[in-house]
Structure formats: structure tokens, C-alpha cells
Structure 1
Amino acid sequence: MKRLYLFFTFVMLVSMTLASAANAYQIVIRPQEAIVEPGAGIKFEAQAFSENAVPVAVDSYTWKVVPEDLGKISDDGYFMAGLEPGKGEIIATAIIGDQRFAGTAHVIVGAPPEPNIKIVVEPQNPIVEPGKKQQFKAVAVSRDGVSLRIKGVRWMLQPKSLGRINNTGLFEAGPKMGRGRVIALVEIDHQIYKGETGLIVSPKPTAKISGIVTDENGSPLADARVSASLIGEPKLFRETRTDENGAYTLEKLIPGAFLVRAAAQGYVPEYYQEAEYPLAAMPVRVGVDEEATDINFTLSPGGAISGTVVADSTSEPLKGVHVVAWKPLAPKHKYHTLTDETGAYLVDGLPTGAYIVGADVAGYEYEFYDNAKRQVNATFVSVTAPDEIPGIDFSLAIRAALKGVVTDEDGNPIPRAVVTVKKRISANVDAARFVRKGLTNEDGEYAVQL
């Protein structure tokens, strides 16, 4: 990957100057929205920008998941979903000067159970210009797909600062741009059901960004993912894939500055322009009805580290172990994955270099490769792209676990039952705090790691 060191150094110096001079910043999180399977993981990245869309250097970001039992998140934004479906927010906070700034992304874990009656608000996720109107309607559908008669609808808008909506579902946008929700409370057979849709108030999404993604030899990379995150309000995230010629077009963009990123399986992801991290990225600006062309990417092949994680006491494979790799001189930039049901893992898309590799899961001792309890004693794993380094295995010692069997009243084991362990923080049972969850196996056995 080509590096524009002088340009990046200049950007960083300007960014640090702005951090002390400006008084308003935006924290952009990529991706803005994500759907994750229960027990799976996804990496979020955060970057602070000035009012002029210039990247700002920040010492560190503090990450948080709301609600907490949706999953857990690492200190650099790797989200590990819990076992139950749900939805929530990923929040990244940074301190710039003496002020605190935060960015938010939305995450859905799994698919919620299909309701008996589903309320659909139409149109879905519209973009409405300031001062313009949009008519909404609510449709009720049974689980069998039968349309149901609605007696009445109460309409609500969140936040109210986006405009107003009357009792017929007619929305009138205010002058302020932003993102929110239109909510319909529907009465059917004396019962109230809720439906909602997203809403963005902004100028028309008529801008485009296009380009080509190739490898180092100039060959097109098909099916590469290209995404654009709007810097500023309202929050907007678009993603597409390249065609067989490596070409892509991101459409329906709001005028503004965008953080654009390209990624492909087995390659090192890249931000425009030739940047490995968002701090060094060059935002792409587009206006009304404009198309930014030739936003091209040349991706370098990445190396990989693979291995297996087992329990030290039984040699049984461990699923859901968090394996992380990073360069000693760049500890803020980590590469993550989770083991599968066989205990196997693969960390790919790695630039050439020497890495520290660690494995961590609840109930077991944290371990660095090779069988080291402390980072200072870790054995480095040298990677030369595009090679894969196999056999980086871990055998984790157990720390603590709660084990048992779940059966029905006849003594038959119940597989895939959810066992929840909570810690009492007072004499009030309702004040217990979530700690861990586990699933029973085919024999009804469980072991919740503490």
C-alpha cells in the first residue's frame, strides 16, 4: 500500500491544532447500522472530525453497549453479540480539549420472533426535505399475511425537533436536519400495537460517489464492499459491492463530506485516499446532483493467522473465544475474530509485520501466544502478506464456571435452554445485575463461565 506520509503528517498536525481551537466536533462511527448473529462479532471504528470535516487526533475512545446485556465490546470497538436477539446502540465517546463528544451507531442482534400482528409504517425510511411534507400510513398484517382492520392510529414523532405530525399521519419537516423515527400506535380489537420507521430530514439524496477497486496488479476486485459514512448530521451510511469490473456507485447520498472505505476478503481494508486508518483518510465531498468520480482503491493482499483454542483440562474445543492480534508499536489498531464450534479461528486482512496474539473467553485465563500469561512474555507471530501462519493454538486454563443440567419434569434433557446467571447487588432480588448467559448442549448440560 502506498503511503502519503507527508500529507498524513500535515493532516494530523492540522487536526491537533483544530482540537484545541474549534468548539464543535462530530464522532463518526462506521458502520452506522449493523445486524449481527447471536454469538458473532463485528468491528466498529470511530473517528472525530472538525466542523470542516477534517480528521481530529484523539488519544482514545471509550466504547459502550446499551443495553449492557446485548453483548460486550472491546476497548477498540469490537462488538461481541450475546446469545439472545435484541437491538441497541453502540456509543463511542472522546474527550477533546475539556469537552466530551459522543457518536452513536445502531445494532441488531439476531431476528426477533415474528409477532402475531405486525404493524408496518409506510413509506419505510424516507428522506424528507426541510419544510416539505410526507404522508405516512399504517398497515396491520397477521402472522398469516392477512390484512387487518385498524380502528384508530395515534402518530408520534421522535425527536419532536424534526417537525410535526398530525393525527392523519401527515408529517411536515422543520428547518433542522436530523434523523429520527415516526411511530404509529394502532388499535385493533381493543388492543394497542406499535409500528415505526426511520426518518431523515435533509436535502434530497441526489449525490453519488463512484470508482473502481483493484488489486496491486491492477486487476479488478469483484464483490468488494465499499461504504460511505456522512460526516455530520444527519447520520447516513451507504454500502454497495463492486461488479465484475471492480466498479461501484454509491447512490442516494445527501450533499456533504463522506468517509469512504473499501474492503475485500483476504485484503487489507483501505480508506480513501490510501489510508489504513480513518484518521489519515481524505473525506470525499459531494454537492446536490453531483457525482464524485474516480474515487478509486488499490487494495494490498493481507496475511492471516489461524489456529485452534481448546480447554486445557479437557482438550475440548472452545466456541466464541475472542482472539485478537496487534502490532506492539500500534496497540490501538487491533484485529479481531471469534472461534467457531470447532474452536478454530482465522484473523485475516493483516499487513506484513510481527504480531502479539491473545485469546480470551469468560471463565478462562487470558493467554498470550505462546502459553504466556503476561504480554511481556508473549511470542511474536511474524506475518508476511499474503501468507497464512497456521498452528497458532491456545489451551486455556479454566478460571471459574457454574455447571449443571436442565431437564423437564420427566427428567428429559432440554437442549439449547438459556441459563442466566446474575449477581445480587442487594437484598432485593430485582436489583440483581446481569453477569453471564449460556446454552445447554444436546444432553441438557451447561457450563456458564464466570
Structure 2
Amino acid sequence: MTIQISRLTRRTVLRGLGVSLALPFLESIMPRSVAASAVTVPRRMAFLFVPNGVHLPDWTPKRLGYGYDLPHILSPLSRLRDDVTVLSGLTHDKGRSNGDGPGDHARSASVFLTGAQPRKTDGSDIRSGVSVDQVAAQATRGATRFASLELGCEPGRGAGGCDSGYSCAYSSNVSWSAESTPVGKETNPKFVFQRLFGDGTPLDQDKDALRRHALKKSVLDFVADDAKRLQNQLGRNDQQKLDEFLNGVREVERRIERTDDEPKVSVDFDYPIPRGTPNDYAEHIRLLCDMIVLAFQTDRTRISTFMLANAGSNRSYRHIDVPEGHHNLSHHGGDAAKHAKIREINRFHVNQFAYLIEKLKSIPEADGNLLDHSMICYGSAISDGNRHNNENLPVLLAGGGGGTIDAGRHVQVAPETPMCNLFMAMLDRFGTPVDFFGDSTGALSGLQI
């Protein structure tokens, strides 16, 4: 296939045997009469869920507005403070029992992006609500190859009880396409990579991946001719951008390949770690963050969710000298030693969030960067793991939302302000406004001055 510059669009792909590699944003794609500042760039949304709440005294900045202080947990954001808004005071009322008794962890995951009270059942008659990511995905279906991308580090179960009479489907999912339909997440970076850059059916992609592995070939080897022809048609800046993009794809591919050769061990879970999944938890998170970045950069999707762990996860954190289980520690009972360990777990998670934000910010796009045109929401639907309370939730919002968010502030909202008000505001900025969402009382104001 010969690529001609006059036919380049955001949907142009480099193709080879079993490979479909979409292009990042390139100025050469735009008509010469259009300035970079006038280019319409798509907006993206991602939602990152962490379980078991946080240690709020080491999370909440003391100062409001710009130049807010960074407590210990938020210290990894020191280079990104101007890109991150800390939101204090948001509440998920439907995460409370409201007469349903225990099961706070399962409710926290199911309510996180839906704002809906889940039906208490450990049978097949599950019911929650359509999640904010899927509201946007359904409204923009067809605009990208994938309507949305659902990721996680721990596999889910669709049946059986996981938390005080609640189905495991609630604990394992934050994305819901219908009231009774959770959207399953992919935990294996290797399979996500194949999905983003493979061609044909999932079975075809598996076969092609095995063939590339046997031949010791990269996906880039199969699009090399197209890439070379394209480079010859681009301006100097775009040549550099394309080269950096291809090098980035190859580096991610190499890291995935290295995980294939690792002896698979699992000291914390009773399931085997599949090939393509790192033993190292931080590397697992970061590879999946890289998948989000590549998907946004190539416009394969504009919407993603990522569960860093399932609700109520009791994963240990030996790599940061916290061998105890997270869930067990979250029931700290006011113990100072447990507080210290919880805050290190919380800080570790924020550090991974910072990795994602830095990667998005490092990628130029139009007159800004990928983060400028994104909204990345990070948080939990439980505030303190010991109290299991659902008010004053720990929430971060990174990115500029295409110039619609005045980032870099600590914003305190009124007590009991629904988290769903934030989601309404994000849907407005994404271009998919709704009259209401979950238990919202109106779109959250104050994101832009």
C-alpha cells in the first residue's frame, strides 16, 4: 500500500501482516490553511479506581486554590501540580447502605461511576446503573475503532458472592453498559496491545502474535515499508513525532515481551499469572497506563476505565515494604503504625497516576499536549477504609479538558455534593451532555474560573 499525503487522515493506518497501526496527531494531516490553534482535537476521558479509601490526613491539602500544598500521599504530583485539581467534599450517597446492611466495598466499586444503588444479591439478578464512561461511549459509538477500553490489574468474577451478600460482579467492575451488564475488563497488557494494533478477529490476532513471536518480529517490522514511505512525505517536525511514536510503541512491545520470559509466580493470589502480565505490580500498572496513552494518542478510543485493584482487594505491597494485605490494613482501628503503612500504599497508587499524567503531558498535540485535551479522574468511592464512609471522597481530576478546566487548584465543594455532579460536568466538556446522571443535582461548577 502506498500512502499519499493528500489522503492522510486521523484514520489512516500503517498496515502489514496482522498489524493495523493507527497514526498519532500529525500537523501534515491538517490542511495548510488551518493553524494548529484552530484544529479541532478530540477530548478524552479516563477513570482510575483505587480500593479501600485513603488516609485522608496525609491526602488532603491544607490550602485551597492555586499553589496548594502536597501532603505525603500527593507528593508524587510535585511536578504536575499545575495539571491536577484536587476535589474535596464529593459524596456517593448510593455507596451507603441505605438499609441494605454491610457490603461497603462491593457497593463502592459498583457506585463509583454509576451513582446508582446496586441491588443486594449474590445471584444472577444483579442491577446497578449505566456508568458515566458508557454514557459517553454510547453517544460517540463509531467515532473510534473502540467505543471504550476497560482495564484492570486483578481478574474479575461474574458470579458468586464476594462481599456480604453482594455478587462478585459488583466488586470486579466499575464500567456498566446497562443496569444488569457490567463491561468486563482486560488485565493482560499483551492482549490489550494485540487489540490496539492487531488486525482481524481476536483469534486472528492471537495467531498473528504467535507468528510474530516465532519469527522474533516486532509489529513495526510488518509496517516498516509503509512507515518509510510515510516518513518521506512528512515535514521535519512530523518526521520526528512519528519516529518518537514508533520508538515508543516498540519500547512498550519490548517490555511486554520481557514479561513472557519471566517465571510466573503469585504470592498473594490463588490464580496463576498469565503470560504477558508482569510479576511486578508497578510494571503491570504502568504497562496498562501505556495502553491508555497509546489508545488516546492514536485515537483508537477516547474513553477508558482502569481498576488498579478490585474493591476490597487484600493485595500485599512487599515491594514498598508493606507485606500486610491492603484491606486488612484499612481496618486500622486508629493504629498509627497501620496509618503509616496505608499512606505508603496510597502514595504508591498516586505515583502510578503521576506516571500516566506525565506520559500524556509529554505527547505534543495541536497547540498543546495530550493531557491538555483529556480529563483523567482518579479516586475511590470509600473515603476512610476503617469507617467505610462515602462522603468527602478522595478525588483528583487531571488535564485541561480542551481548555475547559482551570487545573492546578484545590477545590472544596459543599458537603454532600454528589460525585455525579462532577460526572455531569465532565460529560458536558466531552460533548455528550445529559440532563441528569445518577443522583446528580446539576453539573459541578467551579472547574473553570
TM-score (normalizing by structure 2): 0.24
Which structure's CA Rg is the greater one?
Answer: 1
Greater RCO (CA < 8 Å, at least 6 residues apart)? 2
The structure with the largest helix share of the pair is: 2
Q: Higher strand proportion, which one?
A: 1
